[in-house]
């Protein structure tokens, strides 16, 4: 039976809920968290669609877009639609696209054409797949240069999506997460909460700060920690994937993400 907390909530005439995964930094676990959410949604009967507006770095089976499609059980042939802007250099998408726009004081005004191209691809993808929720993964942190001389907050606004903060569990994440919360609120975007990802093997890296990160951030800004993703060495193997789906299947998590109050 479909979990009531994950019940489909859109028809062909209503746009699906869009969640924009905003990182506190690069390599903070955004893709791992998004993959876990995709598996969790599928386990609960919720149809979730991944979307990566812009990605940089080498292509291949371990690239972020490829991992997202694999977690959603969508053919890799749909990669051009679900990740419309690709850049080979491992740089922020905007720098990989046209660095002069961020370095040259005489550069022309920002060009919104890349945003419009990504929006068109997103619209087509949602029409094709009819998801209940679309999980949009950003690039790097909130203030990251994006194609056309734009910045990520412009994309968040254009996509009319709800921001969900993803931070790396460990030393430094309190500062990074609080700054991201403050910046989103200053821009008029209120996140429903934040998610933390343990990106380093706890058996190798001893970091006592991990124990208190979630509670300190919650208390400092009154924003709930929606979940902590444990370290997984290989998320592509079946056992870890199923374990993550079970751990992240809590109805309260999805009720928060989808904007519905939890009732005990």
What is the token pair recorded at 5? 């907390």
What is the token pair recorded at 81? 């639609």
Q: Of 114, 55, 115, which Cα lies nearest the Cα of 90?
A: 55
Do residues 137 and 50 lie in contact, with contact meaning Cβ atoms separated by under 8 Å? Answer: yes
Q: Which residues make Cβ contacts (< 8 Å) with residue 210, sequence separation at least 6?
A: 169, 170, 198, 202
Report CA 246 to chain centroid distance, whole Å. Answer: 19
Neighbouring CB atoms inside 10 A of 169's CB total: 25
Estimate the crossing angle of helix 238-247 against helix 30-43, to 10 degrees. 80
Neighbouring CB atoms inside 10 A of 234's CB total: 8
Going from the C-alpha of 185 to that of each of 112, 142, 144, 181, 245, the distances in angstroms are 23, 12, 17, 6, 30
Catalytic residue (choose from 17, 30, 47, 52): 52
The verdict on whether 52 is a catalytic residue reads yes
Q: Which residues make Cβ contacts (< 8 Å) with residue 4, sequence separation at least 6?
A: 251
> Three-state secondary structure along 164-189?
EEEEECCCCHHHHHHHHHHHHHHCCC
Q: Of 197, 200, 263, which Cα lies nearest the Cα of 35?
A: 197
Report, as residue numbers or ranges, the catalytic residues: 52
């Amino acid at each position: 039976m479909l979990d009531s907390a994950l019940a489909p909530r859109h028809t062909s005439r209503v746009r699906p809920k869009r969640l924009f995964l905003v990182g506190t930094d690069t390599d903070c676990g955004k893709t791992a968290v998004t993959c876990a959410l995709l598996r969790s949604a599928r386990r609960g009967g919720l149809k979730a669609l991944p979307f990566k507006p812009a990605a940089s770095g080498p292509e291949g089976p371990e690239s972020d877009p490829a991992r997202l499609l694999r977690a959603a059980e969508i053919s890799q042939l749909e990669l051009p639609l679900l990740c419309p802007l690709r850049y080979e250099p491992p740089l922020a998408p905007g720098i990989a696209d046209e660095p002069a726009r961020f370095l040259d004081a005489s550069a022309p005004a920002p060009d919104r054409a890349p945003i419009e191209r990504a929006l068109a691809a997103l619209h087509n993808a949602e029409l094709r797949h009819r998801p209940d929720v679309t999980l949009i993964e950003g690039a790097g942190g909130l203030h990251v240069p994006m194609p056309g001389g734009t910045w990520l907050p412009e994309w968040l606004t254009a996509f009319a999506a709800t921001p969900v903060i993803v931070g790396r569990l460990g030393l430094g994440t309190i500062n990074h997460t609080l700054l991201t919360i403050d910046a989103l609120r200053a821009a008029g975007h209120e996140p429903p909460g934040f998610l933390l990802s343990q990106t380093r093997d706890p058996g190798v890296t001893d970091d006592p700060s991990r124990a208190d990160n979630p509670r300190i951030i919650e208390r400092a800004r009154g924003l709930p920690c929606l979940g902590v993703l444990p370290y997984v060495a290989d998320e592509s193997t079946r056992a870890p994937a199923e374990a993550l789906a079970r751990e992240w299947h809590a109805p309260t998590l999805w009720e928060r993400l989808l904007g519905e109050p939890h009732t005990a």
